[in-house]
Amino acid sequence: MMKIINKSRQRVFYFCLLGVVLTQFYQNCGQLGEFQTLDMSSMELSSGTLNGTDLTHPSGKEVVLPTQKTLASNRMYVASLMREIFTSTATPVPNLEGLLNQWIYFRGGPYGLACNPYSSYTGSDCGGDISNSNLPYTTDDNTVRESFRLQFCENVLGYDAGVTALLEKVPRRGAAPNAESLRGIYELFYRGDGAPESVINSLLELDRSLAAKAEPPMERWRVAALQICESPGWQLQ
């Protein structure tokens, strides 16, 4: 009888011990699942450091700023636009095609757009240089291109016929430059863009200074057209 009682007591003891172990186990599991907060006391923020890193000084690594290049329209667009503006059956510009070829069309390197050496028997599209057949479609704006473009503007507008051909396409123009006619010239070059008032006011001020010097209307028109032709914005994409 005493053996049975002792065995019962042992079983109760084991069950109690097992209960204590399981209770501690589940308590530890609960701690693992809890959200752990970051102990900031170990970080030396008051001294300007974070884990040994100085927050008051930037990294010694050089920062490379992003760059954006300005793309300009290729030779085909520029030549076509200039041909449209300065072509006239009533007052043809002397050697207009020669000027286009000399300063724009045959200058594929600065302007962009590969030529086609098989476009004609002579391969004139490449301007005598077969390497132009490997040019990109467009190029970045560059000083060589700008020097050629300015040469074209000065040469074509150096003819009175060039000024007259341009003015034929300006509606409601008067005998001398005015705000409305200057807007018309601007829009010949800047397709789809209206002329800013600041630009028109600057051109009007320039024209008033020419009128004060008794310059004839042809010269006043020439100067206004030259200012707009030589401005770089109309060729940019």
Confidence of residue 108 (pLDDT cuts 50, 70, 90): confident
Please give the model's pTM, rounded to 2 decimal places.
0.68
Alpha helical stretches, state H, the chain: 2-33, 75-86, 96-100, 108-111, 143-156, 160-167, 179-189, 197-212, 217-230
> What DSSP designation does 143 have?
H
Intra-chain end-to-end CA distance of the chain, in Å: 107
How do the domains of the chain map onto residue ranges? 71-235
Q: Give CA separation, 56 vs 48, 60, 213, in Å.
A: 6, 12, 63
Closest CA to 99 of 153, 141, 161: 153
Dump pLDDT digits (tens) for 30-86.
444 443 444 544 444 444 554 555 555 555 566 665 555 667 888 899 999 999 999
The larger pLDDT score, comparing residue 224 to residue 17, is at 224
Q: Quick one: pLDDT at residue 67?
A: 57
**Beta pairing class for 49-50 and 53-54:** antiparallel
3 Cβ partners below 8 Å, 6+ apart? none
Q: Is the pLDDT of residue 126 over 60?
A: yes
Q: What's the CA gap between 191 and 172, in Å, rounded?
A: 18
Between 179-189 and 197-212, two packed helices, what is the crossing angle to 10 degrees?
120
Q: What's the CA gap between 199 and 186, in Å, rounded?
A: 9
Dump pLDDT digits (tens) for 65-75.
555 566 788 88
Q: What's the CA gap between 222 and 154, in Å, rounded?
A: 10
Q: What's the CA gap between 88 and 225, in Å, rounded?
A: 16
Q: What's the CA gap between 106 and 141, in Å, rounded?
A: 17
Q: Quick one: pLDDT at residue 61?
A: 63
For the CA atoms of 162, 94, 118, 134, what is the dihedral angle to 10 degrees?
-50
